[in-house]
Structure 1
Amino acid sequence: MMIRCISMMIDRLREYVAHETPTGDAQALNAFADRLLDRYAELGGTARRVAAPTGDHVVADFPGRGPLAAEAPLLFIGHHDTVWPIGQLRDVMPWREQDGLLHGPGVFDMKGGLVVLEAALEQIADRDHRPVRVVVVADEEVGSPTARELVAAESSGVVAAFGFESPLPNGDLKTARRGSSRVRIEVTGREAHAALDPGRGVSAIDELIDQLIAVRALVASYADVLCNVGTITGGGRTNVVPGAAAADVGFRFIDPETERAVLDAVTGLEPIRPDAQLQVSVMSNRPAWQPSAATDALLHKVQAAAQSVGQEIGGAPASGAADTNLTGWLGIPTLDGLGPRGKGAHAVHEQVIAASLAERADLVAAIIMTI
């Protein structure tokens, strides 16, 4: 029976949650990266940081042992940024242990996954296994704009990729993901007095509204495309025709053909008003990761590993996107969802089931030793 030090895992998770790491807060993220570098070195890895202006990423390589020591590595992918601002822990979501559940900002997405990974690496330290490569990125929650090239580069030559995001609600792994793109639509109009000289003005807000209506009509012409207008900004006073407005829009796609068609159409939008100026930018993009025979074969191997530690595991596609979109799109056998079971990602009731930390660590250790 593999060692299950659940209390130490809970302590580690509490420590990680206490170190708040909002996306884009380079100082907080870099300090957390220091923790990871030290921890991976303690576990026998060779770790390095990859500098990025909004927060550094971490890469660590763990050598193999025994007959598989020279084989291609397994790639494990995670992130240390969260959606929560500094102060969320103190003011809104204090750490809490109750009825077998652990509550706090980032506990489920995805610092619990980082703790699971560390515990698994500790378990297999003196066991035979192929090499392991770990990539932990600092901007996953906004689409990994500075980490995409890093993930692609570190994916080269690996035998399979695994993500430590949260699993499906029943604990199953994720075998495919929708593509995800963030698009910013910016409009420049012309300011004028709204009563004395309205004809001279060009309303950026009116133009933006009409463009968003056009986007809605475009999306409606495709099946299974999700579209969410996440933010709208613009204007200032009701007596001034607004000269600037912008919206950030999130799209989700099930296949690359639809993704390309929709993004081409959106980035090709033209101003409706003669004197309005329009700029459309793709801020981040994760290609659709579609089901494949290679991933199905990997799932079968993981199911056998799970049985070796008394567990059963399934798999199914998921709607959310993550860095595993890229490895799956590149054709690498990929599975995601190795983080602990729980619920409430990006919500104030975010939580994990404490016992699942050890269960997942046992599963990951079995995967490393058998694949």
Structure 2
Amino acid sequence: MMIERLREYVGAETPTGDAAALNAFADRLGTRYAELGGTVRRMPTPTGDHLVADFPGRGPRATEAPLLFLAHHDTVWPIGQLQGAMPWREQDGAIHGPGVFDMKGGLVVFETALEQIAGRDHRPLRIVVVADEEIGSPSARSLVTAEAKGVYAAFGFEPPHPNGDLKTSRWGSTRVRIEVTGREAHAALDPASGVSAIDELVDQLIAVRRIVADHDEVLCNVGTITGGGRTNVVPGSAAADIGFRFVDPATEESVLRAVGELQPVRDAQLAVRVLSNRPAWQPSAATDELLAKVIAAGRSVGQEVGGAAATGAADTNLTGWLGIPTLDGLGPLGKGAHAVHEQVIAATLTERADLVAAIIKTI
């Protein structure tokens, strides 16, 4: 049953920014959560609706603080990927397909865990499913932080570490765009009157590299560069989107301040703006205590669970940054997030559902 539902979910392709596809998938999730006893709310945005579902507690624990679960229904893959380079495929115990690992497998795990706890006493539960997580959740940050108020703990359904360990902290992640406006001119007849926005952007990216080199443990990836139009025209505009990862808030503040203070080296205009930001979620005693409880829950269903820090960012950065005990990585084991060989190990779907059900029953 889990594999059939996962195939259904993977078959509904949901690239970030495709509001129609994302909203159709949110319809599916909303219907499913209602069937499982949830009260569903939609949070409309122009690029796709976010979903919140509250499931009441049961028995003497019905009035306790809720557990919060964080997930997303967008993927990095365009419509048509399923019919092209990444068809659904079950082979040698693995399931392949766009979004199967990041993170529609986690969505199926949560639903199955809800089925398993039917009739059992537990805290209230809340899940927030975000439509733009793959680009840093720019429209969902306020929603996640608002829905996290008063919860007992937060859990994410992102993929785990390769060995199955949960994620106990995450580096901060910030997306920055550098935009340059130069001055167009004929590249052969009047080059001196032009100002190359591309040349200026190249110099600014070299300056960014120097800033990063002055700080320890910073990851920097220039993800996109755009600009210009014709080789016989001095380019009048150029831009680059940069992804930064930071181990701690102090490093993040220092790097972003320096990048924001960049100055043009020629007669060009320079604009630097933050597109999205997830602050660093640092290790804490509260998360260590939560992990100990999850380890005990895992042993109750015959599983050994571990935890370790992670460099990748997700919406759990927000709850961890707020000081809420947080763990991520409850999705099934697999590999290839954001790669054409994306896959999950089929047997770990049920294992993860068993673990999540045990967490809900015991924590």
Give the structure 2 partner of residue 57 of structure 1. Answer: 50
SS at 1:187 equivalent: strand
* Structure 1 residue corresponding to 2:6, chosen from 10, 13, 17: 13
Aligned pairs, number: 363
**Structure 1 residue 269 displacement after superposition:** 1.1
Measured after TM superposition, the shift of residue 272 of structure 1 is: 1.1
Q: Superposition RMSD on alpha carbons, in Å?
A: 0.5
Q: Give the aligned partner of residue 25 of structure 2.
A: 32
Q: What does residue 142 of structure 2 align with? A: 149
Counterparts of 2:211 and 2:260, CA distance in 1: 12
Alignment of 1:87-126 (within 5 A): 87-126=80-119
Distance 1:14 1:301 in 2: 32
Structure 2: tracts of 5 or more residues without a match: none
> Are 2:196 and 1:203 equivalent residues in the alignment?
yes
How many angstroms apart in 2 are the aligned matches of 1:162 and 1:319?
17
1:265 Cα shift?
Answer: 1.0
Residue aligning to 2:273: 281
- The farther-off stretch of 236-245 and 343-352 is 236-245
Residue type matched to 1:162 in 2? Answer: F
* Equivalent AA in structure 1 for residue 14 of structure 2: T
In structure 2, C-alpha distance between the alignment counterparts of 1:352 and 1:103, rounded to whole Å: 7
Equivalent position amino acid for 1:337 in 2: G
Aligned residue among 333, 351, 362 for 2:343: 351
Aligned counterpart, 2:128: 135
Cα distance, 1:207 vs structure 2: 0.3
Q: How big is each residue's C-alpha offset from its partner over 1:12-56, in whole Å with a ceiling of 9 and x where there is no partner?
A: 000000000000000000000000000000000101111111000
Counterpart residue identity of residue 296, structure 2:
A
**Letter matched to residue 180 of structure 1:** S
Q: What's the CA shift string for 1:253-311, capped at 9, x where partnerless? A: 000000011111111211111x2000111000000000000000000000000000000
1:298 pairs with 2:295: no
* Cα separation, 1, equivalents of 2:155 and 2:176: 27
AA partner of residue 348 (structure 2): S
Per-residue CA deviations over 1:190-212 (Å, capped at 9, x if unaligned) read 00011111110000000000000
Deviations 1:77-100, CA, capped at 9 Å, x for gaps: 000000000000001100001111
Does residue 253 in structure 1 map to residue 246 in structure 2? yes
Task: Report the 3-state secondary structure (helix = DSSP H, G, I; strand = E; otherwise coil) of the residue aligned with 2:24.
Answer: helix
Q: Paired residue for 2:310, among 300, 314, 318?
A: 318
Among all aligned residue pairs of Structure 1 and Structure 2, give the percentage whose two residues are the same amino acid.
80
After superposing on structure 2, the runs of 4+ consecutive aligned residues of structure 1 that deviate more than 6 Å are none
1:263 aligns with 2:263: no
Using the alignment, how far apart are the partners of 2:351 and 2:313 within structure 1? Answer: 24
Partners of 2:79 and 2:337 in 1: how far apart? Answer: 17
TM-score (norm 1): 0.97
Q: Which runs of 5+ in 1 are unaligned?
A: 1-7
Given the alignment of the two structures, is residue 81 of structure 1 paired with residue 74 of structure 2, yes or no? yes
TM-score normalised by structure 2 residue count: 1.00
1:242 Cα shift?
0.4
Secondary structure, aligned partner of 1:90: coil
Match of 2:320? 328
